[in-house]
Every structure is written in C-alpha cells, then in structure tokens.
A and B are shown apart, each in its own frame.
Chain A
Amino acid sequence: MTRRSTPSSEMVANRTTPPLEPSLSIARERAGTGETQMTVHNLYIFDRNGNCLYYNEWNRKKQAGISKDEEYKLMYGMLFSIRSFVSKMSPLDMKEGFLSFQTSRYRLHYYETPSGLKFVMNTDLSVSNARETLQHIYSNLYVELIVKNPVCSSAPSLDSEVFSSRLDAFIRALPYYSPRAA
C-alpha cells in the first residue's frame, strides 16, 4: 500500500493496477493491534442507465445526510465525472480507466463491465484491490442469479431474495471482512 503526501486534498485517485488482496496474516495482525479493522462498508450496483439496482451496507458508521435516491444519483454522477476526467487527463493511453480512490479512512473500488454494469464497493484501507471480488460478484452472482432468471427483471431494482442472501453470505465470508470496524 503506497503512502502519498496529499496535504490539501483528502482524495487520491489510484489509476494503476495495485497488488493483490492482503493475506489472512495481515488481517489478524491488524485486528490484534486494534487498528482499523478490515471490513466492507457498503456496495452499490448500477445499471447502464444510472439506475441503482442494488445497495446494501454492512458496516457504515455515518450516513450521507441525504435521501437514498439522492445518494445514488450523487454516487453515479461522481463516477461518471471521474471516469470522464481520468480518460481525458490520462498522460498515457487508457487501459482500464478509473479503478479506485482512497481517503484517510476508506477506499472506494470500482468495476465496470463492458455492458455498462457498475459495481462500487467501499472498504477499509487495508483492501488494496477488490477487482477480483467485484468480478466474482458479477460473474457468479449477478449473471447466475439475475440474468439467467427469466422472471427476474433488473428494473427498477433487483428483486431477488436469493441474490441478496448469497451476496450477503459472500461478503461476510471474504477474508478481509470483519463485522465490527474500529
């Protein structure tokens, strides 16, 4: 995990592909010292039109202070802007584009499929790369349980109990998940 000195802004956009997810031993060490516990805070799934298909939180200590609809719009709008910014201002040819940003307390991870489906997950700082996690959620949960279910439509939002419960179980089983964040 790199440390950059960013005196003025809290936000650092990480563009290049960071290393793999931390091992279990780091997790235990962190948990033992009482430092920031590894955890997943929340997850958003947006469709190609900007509709929030799914949202859930596991460990969110502070709310945004606006309605959920406003929050989804804000999140989607921000992602749209940052992707456009990253692409425009990139000093090199774009590959994956925007991947994540971090603050001093959390990291936001972003994964977008070529079909425009957008996965956004906020974790603590010890999770440097959640791309594989988000890809798993797409391939093994979303595609299997939502796309392949003819009765399940994704508009206006995902209405599938099995999807919710499997996703919840998956998140809780992640090596970097712990129910209580410091």
Chain B
Amino acid sequence: MNKQSNSELFTLTYGALVTQLCKDYENDEEVNKQLDKMGYNIGVRLIEDFLARSSIGRCQDFRETADVIAKVAFKMYLGITPSVTNWSPAGDEFSLILESNPLVDFVELPDNHSTLIYSNLLCGVLRGALEMVQMAVDVKFVQDTLRGDNVTEIRMKFIKRIEENVPAGDE
C-alpha cells in the first residue's frame, strides 16, 4: 500500500513540476531544456546513491552499461525494467523500450503542447549520471506514448569516454 501511495505522490509531484515550468516558460522547447538541466543535476548525485546501493563496479563496455541501466537502475528508481534493443552495428547506440512509465500515469498532453517532451527529466538524469562515470552520452526520446506512439522509446548514444583529469605537475 505504501509503495503505491509513494508512487502516486511522485507522479503528481512530477506533473506539478512540469505544469509550473510550462507556466513559467510558456514555450515547450524551453521547458524541455529546463527538464533536461534539472535531470542532469539530479543525475550527477543519483549516480552516487546508485553506486552505493547496488555495489556495482565499473562496466566493461557499453553493452554492460545498457544492461545495468535497464535491469538495475530503472528497477531501483522507477520500479520498471525497460528492454534493451535496436543496437547499432558499431555497438555505440541502443534503445530502451518502456512498456510503462510511472511519470506519465494519469497524464494526457493537451493539444497546445505537442512538442513538449514530458519525461525529458529522465534524459538529463541518464546523461548526468553517466558523465560521472566517465561516459559522455546523448539521450533522447524517439517515441512517446503521450504523443500517440505505441511505446515509449529512449535512444542512447555513446559519444566518447571522458578521460580522468591528470593532476598538474609542479616541476
């Protein structure tokens, strides 16, 4: 019972957040950007909680990363397990297919917000979290049930490995 009421409060809180952003910015593109930015700030901290609780070490490659994101991270934080599909031949891009999305329970997008990416916070979270483990990625929604698609699909692309900062030498 408790988990359900938590999840409803979460969905309603997120909805209130997006609604307020829409009022403040009056422009879908700008709201999308703000959601991404907020997500990023959440992601850079969330990764530490994830590492602490899951005790998962460094992933060996992007495929392992994809599995950990779908099977451990999404499960831990949203209670869902998206499937990992549509790998690019180079192995640097994949899709996460979400059958359900707790952020959008009860939500319908009004017609005047057709370009709003309602769950864009998730893209920022993933981007911020991965950056903290040395991966620069590009994350975006390519299908969204809120916009009439059958499923919700997030596309993740590996851009590059972020090298560790070499400490400055004095000599």
Contact = CB atoms under 8 A, between A and B. Distances in A.
A50 B166 CA distance: 8
Given A50-B167, A114-B58, A147 B132 contact: no
B57 A138 contact: no
A142 B134 CA distance: 20
Contact of B49 (A48, A80, A114, A143): A143
Contact of A147 (B48, B134, B165): B48
B165 A117 contact: no
A80 B166 contact: yes
A49 B169 CA distance: 14
Instruction: Name the residue among A76, A138, A147 with the largest chain B CB count within 10 angstroms.
Output: A147
A147 B133 contact: no
B161 interface: no
A139 B133 contact: no
Instruction: Name the residue among A76, A114, A142, A148 with the largest chain B CB count within 10 angstroms.
Output: A114
B48 A143 contact: yes
A173 to B, nearest CB: 20
5 contacts: A50-B167, A80-B166, A115-B132, A116-B134, A142-B48
Interface of B: 45, 47-49, 51-53, 56-58, 132-134, 164-167, 169-170
Interface string A28-59: 00000000000000000000111000000000
A113 interface: yes
A18 interface: no
B45 A48 contact: no
A139 B53 contact: yes
B167 A114 contact: no
Nearest to B42: A150
Given A143-B48, A148-B45, A116 B164 contact: yes
Range, interface on chain A: 10 to 19
Contact of B48 (A50, A73, A77, A113): A113
Contacts of B170: 73
Contacts of A49: 165
B124 to A, nearest CB: 16
A82 to B, nearest CB: 12
Given A73-B167, A116-B164, A143 B52 contact: yes
A113 B51 contact: yes
Contacts of B49: 143, 147-148
Instruction: Name the residue among B47, B48, B169 with the largest chain A CB count within 10 angstroms.
Output: B48
A78 B137 CA distance: 31
A42 B53 CA distance: 26
Nearest to A49: B165
B48 to A, nearest CB: 4
A147 B132 CA distance: 13
A69 to B, nearest CB: 11
Contacts of B56: 114
Q: Which 8 A-B pairs have the closest CB atoms?
A: A139-B52, A143-B52, A147-B48, A115-B132, A114-B58, A77-B167, A50-B167, A147-B45
Contacts of B51: 113-115
B165 to A, nearest CB: 5
B5 to A, nearest CB: 22
